[in-house]
């Protein structure tokens, strides 16, 4: 994402949304991981909310963010990102 943020600016709404959603999802997953010993303490609404957030985030990345990155970055930049993801 650094290459894309240099292209569109770090305060671009897509960058801000992606990073803030990553923080929120990580926080919820950490909470869930901490409660693994006693899943009875996890409310169904928490799991539903996590699932909804994750689904919406994936749709946003696939439908909006990734196409914008493909338009903004050249083939070499995209290849470097692909290689980093493979590692």
Instruction: Look at 19-23, 40-44, 67-71, 76-80 and tell me which has the smallest mean pLDDT.
Output: 40-44
User: Rounded CA gap, 81 and 64, in Å?
Assistant: 17
Phi-psi region of 42 (alpha: psi -120 to 50; beta: other; left: phi over 0): beta
Q: What is the dihedral of CA 71, 74, 75, 80, to 10 degrees?
A: -110
Q: What is the DSSP letter of 33?
A: H
Over the stretch 10-64, which tens digit does the pLDDT of each residue have? 999 999 999 999 999 999 999 888 877 777 777 889 889 999 999 999 999 999 9
Residue holding tokens 């290849």? 79
86: its two tokens: 């493979």
């Amino acid at each position: 994402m650094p290459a894309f943020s240099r292209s569109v600016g770090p305060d671009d709404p897509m960058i801000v949304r992606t990073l803030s959603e990553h923080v929120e999802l990580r926080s919820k997953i950490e909470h869930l991981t901490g409660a693994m010993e006693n899943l009875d303490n996890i409310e169904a609404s928490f799991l539903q909310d996590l699932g909804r957030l994750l689904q919406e985030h994936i749709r946003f990345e696939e439908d909006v963010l990734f196409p914008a990155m493909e338009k903004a970055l050249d083939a070499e930049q995209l290849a470097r990102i692909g290689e980093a993801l493979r590692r």
